Amino acid sequence: MPRVLLTILTALILLTSCTKDPVEVVVPEPTVTYSVADTMQLSPITITNFPDLYNNYHNKTYSRETNKVKSNYKVEGADFLIIFEDTSVANSGTELILKIPNKTILNVSGNYSAQTHDIFYKWNQRLSSSLAVFSVGYTKADNGNIQINYDDKTSTLSGTITKLKYPFGIYLPFYQPGSTITPTSSDAVFLTSGGSFRQHSITFQYVKTS
């Protein structure tokens, strides 16, 4: 066998033996820690004129933390959306959607503050198997910080959301079985105008696209 041919064959054998098999990327299951804290407040004029509301809601708070959350992200037009759906409590879960305008998976990674960036939200709160209350469209957040990291190897999203706060006039325990108080639709109006609010803290890892 000519020396040149032998050299070529030897090089091919060495190249083949050094070629590594493709490494399969294992994507971990998504994990989300989701907390919600509601604080009920009434204005002084409401307290004076509606003492029953004061008795029902004064100093009332409600909070819950869970990892039973469905989550995904998607690009919708020019907006980047992150969706969280709390499934931990039957007929009382909440859905939160965050919108960051003019972002894609290519440039969404970073830190965002509601005071200096455009962060929008909308929510849906289930009260029973047949009743839900929801915000009308997206509202610009006044408070909140978001840290986002997109991993192009796994096509997943990880990050944190802290101090996301918005007006919220629903006291969930009054909608649960066994409550002796039946809220009226006007209660939410008085509570929201009085400064009642909901605040979220969320940590998420390996969230996938929808």
Please report the pLDDT score of residue 27 as a whole number. Answer: 85
Cα 101 from Cα 209, distance rounded (Å): 17
- Is 95 a domain residue? yes
Task: Report the mean per-residue pLDDT for the chain.
Answer: 91
- Is 19 a domain residue? no
User: What is the SS3 assignment for 18?
Assistant: helix
Confidence grade of residue 21 (pLDDT, cut at 50, 70, 90): low
Please report the pLDDT score of residue 56 as a whole number. Answer: 97
Percent of the chain with pLDDT over 70: 89
- Is 118 a domain residue? yes
Q: By CB neighbour count within 10 A (0-12 exposed, 13-18 middle, 19+ buried), where does 116 fall? A: exposed
Number of domains in the chain: 1
> pTM for the full model?
0.86
- Is 70 a domain residue? yes
- Is 20 a domain residue? no
Q: What would the pLDDT profile of 58-83 be if each residue is shown by its tens digit?
A: 989 999 999 999 999 999 999 999 99
The backbone region for 183, taken as left when phi is positive above 0, alpha when psi lies in -120 to 50, beta otherwise, is: beta
Is a pLDDT exceeding 50 seen at residue 160? yes
More confident residue, 18 or 189: 189
Q: What would the pLDDT profile of 79-101 be if each residue is shown by its tens digit?
A: 999 999 999 988 899 999 999 99
**What mean pLDDT do residues 23-51 have?**
93
- Is 66 a domain residue? yes
User: What is the SS3 assignment for 11?
Assistant: helix
- Is 85 a domain residue? yes
Cβ partners under 8 Å of residue 184, min gap 6: none
Q: Which structural domain range is residue 170 located in?
A: 25-207
- Is 18 a domain residue? no
Is a pLDDT exceeding 90 seen at residue 35? yes
